[in-house]
Amino acid sequence: MQTASYVDINKFMGDWHVLANIPTFPERGAINPIERYALNKDGTVDTTFSFISPKNGTEKVLKATGFVQADASNAVWGMQFIWPIKADYRVVYLDPEYQTTIIGREKRDYLWIMSRDPNLPRETLEMLVDMAVRLGYDRGSIQFPERREGFLATG
C-alpha cells in the first residue's frame, strides 16, 4: 500500500478527530472519537484513543504505543496495544497542512479518516472517503462515528 511520501512526526502529533472509519471491535459505536499522539523522548509515540461509550455515555480511553519504522518517510508504524504484538499502521494520506489524514493497513481491514477539525466540510470528507476507496477499501464498510456537540472526550 502506497504511503504518504513523508510525515514530519512533530507536526503529526496532537489531536485528530476520527470522522470516518472501518472500526476495530473496541471502537465500534464510539461517539466523538479522538486519537491523540504525543512524541516520547525515545522516539516512540504515546497514543491515546478516547471516545464516549454508546452504551452508558461515559468516557473510554484506550492506550497504545506507536513505533515509527526507521525509513525516510516516517509513514509506516507498528502500533502496540498488547506486548509483543505490533499492528500494521500506515499514514497513507496526509495533506500538506497536516489538517487531514488517512490511516490504513496493508490488509485493508481497518481504516481511519481523521481531521484536526471535528466539523470538516462534507465535500472534503467525501473526497477522503473516495481516496480510501481508490486505495482498495470497501465503501460499504466505512462508517461515520456519531458526533455530539458540547460532548467531547478528553482522554
> What average pLDDT does this structure show over 111-126?
96
Q: Is residue 3 part of a domain?
A: no
The answer as to whether 153 is a domain residue is no
pLDDT for the residue numbered 14:
98
> Which residues, at least 6 apart from 85, have a Cβ–Cβ distance to it below 8 Å?
none
**26-54 confidence digits (pLDDT tens):** 889 999 999 999 999 999 999 999 999 98
In sequence order, the β-bridge partners of residue 43 are none
Number of domains in the chain: 1
151 domain residue, yes or no: no
Range of the domain at 95: 9-141
User: CB–CB of 81/62 below 8 Å?
Assistant: yes
For residue 155, being part of any structural domain is answered with no
The 10 Å Cβ neighbour count of residue 60 is: 19
C-alpha–C-alpha distance, residues 52 and 141, integer Å: 21
- State the pLDDT confidence band at 78, using cuts at 50, 70 and 90: confident
* Cα dihedral 48, 52, 55, 57 sign: positive
Reduced to 3 states, what is the DSSP secondary structure of residue 64?
A: strand
CATH number (domain holding residue 72): 2.40.128.20
Q: Provide the 10 A C-beta neighbour count for residue 108.
A: 15
Q: Is the pTM of this model over 0.75?
A: yes
Give the residue ranges of DSSP H helices in 20-142. 122-134
| pLDDT above 90 for 86 | no
